[in-house]
Chain A
Amino acid sequence: MKTKSLLAGAALALLMSTAAHAGDVRIMWYSDGVEGDVMKDLVGRFMKENPGINVILDNVSYSVVREQLPVQLEAGNGPDIARVAQIKDNSKHWLDLRPLVKDAKYWDDNFGAQADWMRPDGSNQISGFMTQITLTGGFANKTLFDQAGVPLPGPKATWDEWAAAAKKVKESQKTPFSMAIDRSGHRLTAPLLSYGANYIGKDGKPAPLDKGAKDFLTKFVGWVGDGSFSKDVWVSAAGNTYRAAADDFINGQLPFYYSGSWQVANLATKIGNNFDWVATGSPCGPAACTGMPGGAALVAVKYTKNPKEVAALMDWLAQEKIVKEFSERTLFLPGHKGVVDKGGLDFKTDNAFAKAALTKYVEASKTTADTALKLPGWRWSDTVYAAIVTRVGQTLAGELKLEDAFTRIDADIAQKVKDSGL
């Protein structure tokens, strides 16, 4: 009896030492700009209002969220809440907040447009909300264009026109490259869609690469080959590793950089008054002038030991006034319908370039193609992006011919679909 009591005591002690404390909510958070500081401030205020809930904000790099979080989730672990960009792919791991939040209708009304992006197909789950809506688009170094005497191409300018103009600037200003695009399938998808690509087959599964996709990829590889587009970022890693090309633009070495709205705060902070820059929207192709929508979501993880506390925090952060404040302070486009409809966002920056850029992105979002709007909520988006980045990267490094790359991309995607058993 005494031994049993001792063992029970030891087991209890072990449990107490390893289990999450009741009331603890751990958030895995990554930052592109200043949003980590803003979230820290918000979390502090939440804890003051809710003294029984202790929120731990773990600031990690984006690659940790991208590469390590999925592994933790597959093993049934992970944080209680996470800020993620691979939203749909991991949707089976998100907690259904519908029975836990105070007013599910408020969530449906204000976050309903993107709810499908973060829940398993066919469910009406409330998994979380978008901390920001993003749109891919270009940035031009206006100072370099002015110094070169090259006018900035107009709002309906094509990729070819931008490439030609940026090349003139490069030659005049002796920059290493004229254009750069992040090493990301998501980013590359925008011009592909503008050239008429459609990834989604009639059965809802990935379709083989079509003419639109092949046309732009052929152009892109050619542009990298003739030194117009930066090769560095694309060949600096193997596989589908993400690499941003922002540093070259920030350093004033790049006339044109294609990335997205989430870079605005980053560029405003790091460039300061070093040179003038503008957001350009997405250049046009034969089919559209579209950017790729997306964003980062704050989602609850279903393996949490404290679902009520998680829901309380999510309810608090999802309030209209908090979403508005977060967007204004981070310079992010909000994903809250009430905030968007009411307008009047007062972005907290003195940087005129950043304010103009945000206005430009809001304007550009009106020309987003239907094919682009479907992709964030499509289960196979990340699979297609990964295959494209991997094989295009190999092509640019001289390992594959373009035609072989197309064949490999289709084969990689088909194999992944087969592996998934769907």
Chain B
Amino acid sequence: MTAPTPSPTLTERLGSLLMAPVHLLMRAIDIPLRAVQKAAGIGGMATVFLAPNMLIFGIFVLLPLVINFVYSMTGGTAFFLTERQFVGADQYARLFQCANYLDPMSCQEDAFWTAVGNTFWFVVLQVSLMILTALITALILNRDLAARSFWRAVFFFPVLLSPVVVGLIWKWILQRQGLLNFGLYQFGVEPYTWLTDRNWTFVATIGVSLWAHMGFYALILLAGLQAIPKDLYEAAEMDGTKPARVFWRITLPLLMPNLLVVVVLALIRAVQIFDEVYVLTGGGPGTSTLYLTQYIYETGFASALRNPGLAAAASILMGLVLVVLTLIQLGIGQRGEKKGKR
């Protein structure tokens, strides 16, 4: 004899009423999906589910990439592909036509090689400083500080600003009649033209990008620090391990996966630097803060001497650099995983 089924409560009835359309939809999808499964097999269903995403990826990423590559093989000033003439690898040859790659002025496209050199030094210096400052900030914010949440917000706030706003704020601070010179003048220091001195401007672009993005990387590292088990530190403390040794032997190795993510993200972002610098210095003085993305933008769109094919070729080369950086990151990541398994 079976126990009588209890009658559904009001909540259960309401729930099943609300779920009715969902069940109906599931049944409606079920019929074609079974047919698809029959045709594609269980193994093929992953492809079916990924197809919509791949379609979007194909249209918005792969297709533009292909079109960009085709552009780089064409010449002229017209924008429509059909109005452009095929020139093969001429645009690439033009970019690489150089007597001495270390002397941009000996190259036909001197602005391109100047931008490559500027970007290289920017990436080296900015990424190194970024990691260092983000790590120090994360270590400090991980301590039991008074008003810790407030300080975290302070460091993260610039990340929320639009790069154009960041550029404008710092322009107002650094220009000849800006806030910094006003402040210095109050202390009897002669105003200085920070944004027209080649060396200072380069330093300013690094400083501003550090200020604008450091909070984001510090947050990633802070999450990594908080994931390190506390008992490891307690054990080290009981053993009387010095703080420096704790950092090198416990904190840094366990933070390495987060650090790797930060390095790669910072590298990619540094190579792509554009908006805040464009607003702050416009690439000047001369071409001292002209970075690759701005070169591509100006060559392709903004200059009266615009050349979309040359810009496309330069962007393909820049893309290759980013692919290499990503592959290095993947390689290091996989090696780390293998080490971890052993």
Contacts and interface: CB of A to CB of B under 8 A. Distances in A.
Interface of A: 67-68, 70-71, 74-76, 86, 89, 176, 231-232, 235-241, 243, 251, 382-383, 385-387, 390, 393-394, 396-400, 404, 408, 412, 415-416, 419-421
Contact of A75 (B79, B289, B302): B79
Contact of A419 (B76, B281, B290): B76
B303 A419 contact: no
Given A237-B281, A383-B305, A74 B78 contact: yes
A382 B306 CA distance: 11
A226 B303 CA distance: 30
B284 A397 contact: yes
B105 interface: yes
Interface string B277-320: 00001111111111000100010011111110000000000000
B269 interface: no
A305 B65 CA distance: 32
Interface of B: 75-80, 85, 105, 110-111, 176-177, 193, 195-196, 198, 281-290, 294, 298, 301-307
27 contacts: A67-B302, A75-B79, A231-B196, A236-B196, A236-B282, A236-B285, A237-B281, A238-B111, A238-B290, A239-B111, A239-B303, A240-B303, A241-B282, A241-B283, A241-B302, A383-B304, A386-B303, A386-B304, A386-B305, A394-B286, A397-B287, A398-B198, A399-B105, A399-B288, A404-B105, A419-B77, A420-B76
B105 A400 contact: yes
SS of B interface (majority): loop
Contact of B284 (A89, A238, A385, A404): A238
SS of A interface (majority): helix
A158 B304 CA distance: 31
Residue among A67, A235, A408 with most chain B CB within 10 A: A235
A232 to B, nearest CB: 5
B66 to A, nearest CB: 18
B75 A419 contact: yes
* Across the A-B interface, the 4 shortest Cβ-Cβ residue pairs: A397-B286, A238-B283, A237-B282, A74-B79
A239 B299 CA distance: 9
Contacts of B287: 238, 394, 397, 399
Nearest to B283: A238
Nearest to B298: A239
Given A235-B196, A235-B284, A419-B77, A71 B301 contact: yes
